[in-house]
Amino acid sequence: MSGGNGYDFNAISFSPDGKLFQVEYATKAVEKDYLVLAVKCQDGILMAAEKVLSSSLLAPNSNHRIFWINDSIACATVGHRPDCYALAVKAREEASSYFDNFGVKITVPELVSRVSMSFQQNHCVSGYRPYGCTALFGSFIDESLYAIEPCGQYYGYFACCFGKGSGLARAELQKTDWSTKTVRESIDEVARIIRTLHENQNKKWEIEMMWICKETEGIPQRVPESVFSPVQAE
């Protein structure tokens, strides 16, 4: 038998102690990926992701981990990369469908509610497996920051982080009252948190950032290099 004593062959069956082992394995995939975090500031949302350049052949400022969903919502991802891409596409489809049906832009709470149903369906249908990723959704228009975890549950946050070193990063996030800071003021502090976690790692890396704030008129945009240059280290 495997570590799940036979109960990890699918995501349908609960073990005798109430666990879904495939969901726990999906959560492990998130914990092993590099850090992603987001904060809700007084004038918008800031998202940041740690990106390790595992090969010198990789192009800097590419292979994104943070995506636009529509012209008001952004999504930062962490976990199994193909699942992250599929999740971003699913969220775009839900946002587009909502606009086509109702003629207004979808809100972040409604979007995460709809996407979470896709997570739940993967637990209930034979032949599917849980998404091995977590996604953070943010919008300036409805001033929302939410995260969906591999089990399908979602929460609203003032600040959150997932991935390798998230325990230490969470402790750092709790030290700051982000509601008193602007997004521009928060950029250096968020970068400092990621740098602190990366101090002892001898790898080439960079920081990807996206902001959705007053300064961008509520549109998700990459933080320009005139404001923050991606940090690289050997």
| Residue 21 pLDDT greater than 70, yes or no | yes
Higher pLDDT, 225 or 136: 136
**H or E element, residue 147:** strand 144-148
* pTM exceeding the 0.85 threshold for the entire prediction: yes
> Which tokens in the block code for residue 184?
């521009």
CATH topology of domain 32-56+63-222: Glutamine Phosphoribosylpyrophosphate, subunit 1, domain 1 (3.60.20)
Rg, C-alpha atoms of the chain:
18
Sign of CA dihedral 136, 137, 142, 143: positive
Helix residue ranges per DSSP H, 59-107: 81-102
Domain parsing of the chain, residue ranges? 32-56+63-222
The fraction of the chain above a pLDDT of 70, given in percent, is: 92
pLDDT, average across residues 170-176 = 94
